[in-house]
C-alpha cells in the first residue's frame, strides 16, 4: 500500500507552476499533462486522525481502471488530506475534496517515488454519477462518460492506455 500525506497548500504551488485557463481552473489538457497517473478509483475506507493540532483524513482507494500511468488495476493507495472529524472536533478547508466511502472518482494524480498527491488539489477529481458510467466535474459543471474522457485524454497525451 502506498502511503501519502498531502496538504492542499500544494494547490497554490501548482497554480503557479502549471498553466491554467483564464478562470484559474486548470484545463483538461493541463490536468492530463501535469498528472503522472489518471485512474478510476473507489474509496474502500476512510479514517480521520489528529496530528499536531490538525485533523486529517486518510482515504484508501482501490484502482478500478488505469487511464494513464503505472498504478495497476486492483492496486490500493492511500491519500491523506487536511480536514475531517475526530471526536467532537471538525476541521474543514473550503474547496477541499471530501471523498465518500464506496464512491468512484476519476483522479488526476502525481505519483513521484511512491508519494501520491492530487495534481491540482480541488480540481483533480471527477465524481461518478449514481450509475457509475458517467463522471461529473463540479468545477466546470460538465458531465463525461468514461469513454469520452479516455478518448480526449488520449488525444492530449500519447501515454494513455
Residue ranges covered by each domain of the chain: 10-156
Q: Which residues contact 114 (CB under 8 A, 6 or more apart)?
A: 2, 3
Residue identified by cell 485512474 is: 39
pLDDT tens for each residue of the chain, 161 residues long: 433 333 222 333 233 333 333 456 777 888 888 888 899 999 999 999 988 888 989 999 999 999 988 889 999 988 888 888 888 888 887 777 888 999 999 998 887 555 666 666 666 778 888 777 788 877 767 787 888 888 888 787 664 44
What pLDDT, on a 0 to 100 scale, did the predictor assign at position 123? 66
Q: What is the pLDDT of residue 16?
A: 33
Is-contact 144 151, C-beta < 8 A? no
Sign of CA dihedral 17, 59, 102, 63: positive
Our CA angle for 73, 70, 33, nearest 5°, is: 120
> E-assigned strands of 10-53?
37-51
Proportion of the chain in helix, strand, coil states, percent, rounded to 5? 20, 45, 40
For residue 51, how many other CB atoms are within 10 A of its CB? 10
Distance CA(131)–CA(139), nearest Å, equals: 20
Classify domain 10-156 by CATH architecture: Beta Barrel (2.40)
Q: Can you give the pTM of this predicted structure?
A: 0.73
Tell me the C-alpha to C-alpha distance, in Å, between residue 72 and each of 69, 78, 120.
8, 14, 22
Q: In a 3-state reduction of DSSP, which class is residue 148?
A: helix
Helices (H) and strands (E) in the chain, counts: 3, 10
Amino acid at each position: 500500500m502506498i502511503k501519502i500525506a498531502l496538504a492542499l497548500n500544494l494547490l497554490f504551488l501548482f497554480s503557479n507552476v502549471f498553466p491554467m485557463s483564464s478562470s484559474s481552473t486548470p484545463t483538461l489538457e493541463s490536468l492530463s499533462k501535469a498528472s503522472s497517473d489518471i485512474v478510476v478509483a473507489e474509496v474502500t475506507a476512510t479514517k480521520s486522525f489528529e496530528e499536531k493540532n490538525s485533523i486529517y483524513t486518510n482515504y484508501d482507494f482501490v484502482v478500478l481502471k488505469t487511464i494513464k500511468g503505472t498504478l495497476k488495476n486492483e492496486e490500493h493507495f492511500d491519500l491523506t488530506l487536511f480536514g475531517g472529524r475526530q471526536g467532537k472536533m471538525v476541521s474543514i478547508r473550503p474547496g477541499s475534496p471530501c471523498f465518500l466511502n464506496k464512491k468512484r472518482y476519476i483522479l488526476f494524480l502525481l505519483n513521484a517515488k511512491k508519494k501520491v498527491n492530487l495534481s491540482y488539489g480541488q480540481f483533480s477529481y471527477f465524481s461518478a454519477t449514481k450509475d457509475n458510467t458517467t463522471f461529473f466535474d463540479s468545477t466546470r459543471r460538465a458531465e463525461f462518460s468514461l469513454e469520452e474522457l479516455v478518448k480526449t485524454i488520449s488525444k492530449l497525451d500519447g501515454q494513455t492506455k
